[in-house]
Amino acid sequence: MQPSSPLSEQIRRSIRCRRSTGSKGPPPTNYTGCVKMADKEIIKAVTEALKNAPKRKFHESVELAINLKDIDLSNPKNRINEEIILPKGRGREVKVGLFGTQEMAQKARDVADMIIAAEDIPKMAEEKGQAKKKVSQIDFFVAEAPLMAIVGKNLGVILGPRGKMPRPIPPGADPTGIIANLRKTVKVRSKDRRTFHVTVGTKDMKPEDIASNIEAVMTRIRSKLERGLMNIHSVYVKTTMGPAVKLVLR
């Protein structure tokens, strides 16, 4: 039997990846894996961005600036609207709140940052100022599925515009795993803009870990674009206040 050539192996890997991500159509001829950037190139760019960033007195994030092309974002179906789990985490504290019954609250006692009992939801809605303050302190919310309608009716006007409507949890389920994943999750929203940003870590993380997060983000975004890499004009990595470094796309 003839050994597989590197090119044929790349094609097989690309087909497997596209099937797993739901991408359609044949893979481009220069496809080299699930992410169209070489690991070394990503790490090199991240290392340069971290090195060039001046020291600040606050905990800087590391983010991607993604520029799309040849795509009509006035059509909502073409927009990027994703929640992506970063394999190496966000590098900062992410707070998760829970709306639940007494039983669910007991299970979430050691994992949730804020627990709002079912009977307290209407009371919370009556004090809009305090409700807004509480919501601003939390990154994500979860709620027992039967309480979703109550939360929406009472707090939808506060949670909805902030993108913080809760994720439903089946009654009696253990919320530990869901909350753990949310702590590593980033929201990616292009809206109607061709340029948008997404956090991929913090300045004190290892370049290799940030690179892994970048791969996860770019794999998902690429899979959601009709023409994949062909719809991406450029990608830059930077710290919050630092200079941008262009990533090499392959």
pLDDT tens sequence across 163-209: 999 999 999 899 999 999 999 999 999 999 999 999 999 999 999 99
C-alpha count within 13 angstroms, C-beta hemisphere, residue 7: 3
CA distance 17 to 27: 10
Question: What confidence score (pLDDT) does residue 76 get?
Answer: 93
Low-confidence ranges of the chain (pLDDT < 50): 1-11, 13-15, 17-38
The amino acid sitting at 93 is E
Amino acid (one-letter) located at 175 = P
Q: What domains, with CATH codes, occur in the chain? A: 1-34 (no CATH), 37-90+184-246 (3.30.190.20), 96-182 (3.40.50.790)
Tell me what pLDDT residue 101 has: 94
Indicate the length of the chain as a whole number: 250
Could you write out the DSSP letters of every residue in 25-91?
SPPPTT--SSSSS-HHHHHHHHHHHHHHSPP-SS--EEEEEEEE-S--TTSGGGS-EEEEE-TT--S
177-189: string of b/e by CB count within 10 Å (b at 16+)?
ebbeebbbbbebe
Look up the pTM and report it: 0.78
3-class secondary-structure state, position 213: helix
pLDDT of residue 25: 47
Mean pLDDT, the chain, rounded, equals: 87
> Rounded to whole angstroms, how far apart are CA atoms 125 and 134?
11
Per-residue pLDDT at 7:
38
